Copies of this chain bind each other. A is one copy, B any other.
């Protein structure tokens, strides 16, 4: 009998293989990371830990949990950085593993008012973000909602 070769479809997924950024908080089913992007030092991602492609691949309770985290990150970024706008996006065309971009935008950032995926409008030196303070602010918010860090 011929042996069937089974290739794990997730073995090449960068969000299965690595954290995908500097981990700010890791819970059982999701994590929040800060993206290494010199233009956008406050750029965070909320990543669902399991390899799932679309929001509607999750059940309603999981969707709500994930969006609650996205909005918590939005709220903390607004409080700490006072951006002109928050950009939220779940795209996943290149990495179809559910992750939300949460991007604080400023009028003088590299692409404003365009999307960060558009052509750059200007060269910038974005001010540093205090990642430890950001992490603490998130920790305070998640601890208050009972999200366990693992």
**Selected contact of A54 from candidates B54, B78, B93, CB within 8 Å:** B78
Top 4 nearest A-B pairs (CB, nearest first) are A115-B117, A89-B89, A93-B113, A88-B90
A93-B89 contact, Cβ under 8 Å, with A54-B78, A56-B75, A67-B63: no
User: A residues engaging B (CB < 8 A)?
Assistant: 53-56, 63-64, 67, 71, 74-75, 78, 84-94, 96, 105, 112-115, 117-119
Copy number in the complex reads: 2
CA distance A42 to B118 in the complex (A): 21
CA distance A56 to B77 in the complex (A): 11
- Distance to closest chain B CB from A111 (angstroms): 9
